[in-house]
């Protein structure tokens, strides 16, 4: 059965390095028959700039955020995808704020039992991939580590493609071999 892959592009630039990386990855995954949907997190309509800690999601049966906006729809898609890909530029040694909104709202995809210190989540057993580009080569490992922690906690397999020295927006096309690496990475993830 073909993989359902959800790519969350966290860049506010429609034709920047992250957009190109996401496009090349998606082409590779599609070449292996995967269904790929790319969502630009920066252009969703939000009612909240992150999780409001209302904890209402913990009181309902569904794995969803109760705030009815663009993030809610994305979270529902995350629960149904086989692979979730976070694509982000390195912004001040972290993921973009646009992507962080979705990450914080992922709280609704977990149901904790505090008496047994356990949780259930539709993310368990899925795969998470990170596409990360940066102007230089400083800080990429820190961002990778934070996503790996989320994947490990969620009992998800984790994969990453880090692209240092991508420089200015759109310059990634000048990096020799990166297009091929991103395409191959997409093929690999679709073949899991």
Which residues lie below 8 Å from residue 73, measured CB to CB, with a gap of 6+?
none
Q: What is the rounded end-to-end Cα distance, in angstroms, of the chain? A: 11
Which residues lie below 8 Å from residue 83, measured CB to CB, with a gap of 6+?
3, 4, 5, 6, 126, 127, 128, 129, 189, 190, 192
Q: How far is CA 135 from CA 18, 54, 162, in A?
A: 11, 37, 11
Mean pLDDT, rounded, for 84-99: 95
Nearest residue to 190 via CA among 43, 6, 79, 33? 33
- Round to whole Å and give the CA distance between 25 and 42: 19
Q: What is the pLDDT of residues 136-175, one digit of tens each?
A: 999 999 999 999 999 999 999 999 999 999 999 989 999 9
Residue 185: its pLDDT value, please? Answer: 98
Mean pLDDT, rounded, for 71-95: 96
Q: What is the pLDDT of residues 178-187, one digit of tens each?
A: 999 999 999 9
Nearest residue to 162 via CA among 146, 178, 177, 173? 178
Residue 48: its pLDDT value, please? Answer: 87
Residue 86: its pLDDT value, please? Answer: 98
The ranges assigned to domains in the chain are 4-190
Q: What is the pLDDT of residues 108-147, one digit of tens each?
A: 999 999 899 999 999 999 999 999 999 999 999 999 999 9
Task: Specify the pTM.
Answer: 0.96
Residue 80: its pLDDT value, please? Answer: 97
Q: How high is the mean pLDDT of the chain? A: 95
CATH classification code of 4-190: 3.40.50.360
Residue 170: its pLDDT value, please? Answer: 87
Mean pLDDT, rounded, for 48-62: 93
- Round to whole Å and give the CA distance between 109 and 183: 29
* 84 within 8 A of 8, measured Cβ to Cβ: yes
Residue 49: its pLDDT value, please? Answer: 85
């Amino acid at each position: 059965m073909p993989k359902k892959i959800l790519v969350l592009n966290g860049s506010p630039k429609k034709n920047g390095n992250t957009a190109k990386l996401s496009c090349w990855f998606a082409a590779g995954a599609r070449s292996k028959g995967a269904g790929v949907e790319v969502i630009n997190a920066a252009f969703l309509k939000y009612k909240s700039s992150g999780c409001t800690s209302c904890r209402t999601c913990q009181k309902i049966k569904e794995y969803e955020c109760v705030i009815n906006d663009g993030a809610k729809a994305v979270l529902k898609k995350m629960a149904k995808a086989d692979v979730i890909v976070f694509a982000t530029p390195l912004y001040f040694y972290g993921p973009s704020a646009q992507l962080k909104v979705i990450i914080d709202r992922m709280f609704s995809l977990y149901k904790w039992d505090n008496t047994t210190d356990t949780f259930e989540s539709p993310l368990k057993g899925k795969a998470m991939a990170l596409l990360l580009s940066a102007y230089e080569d400083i800080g990429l490992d820190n961002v990778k580590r934070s996503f790996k922690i989320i994947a490990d906690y969620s009992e998800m397999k984790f994969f990453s493609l880090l692209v240092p020295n991508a420089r200015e927006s759109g310059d990634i096309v000048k990096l020799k071999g990166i297009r091929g690496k991103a395409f191959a990475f997409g093929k690999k993830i679709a073949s899991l």
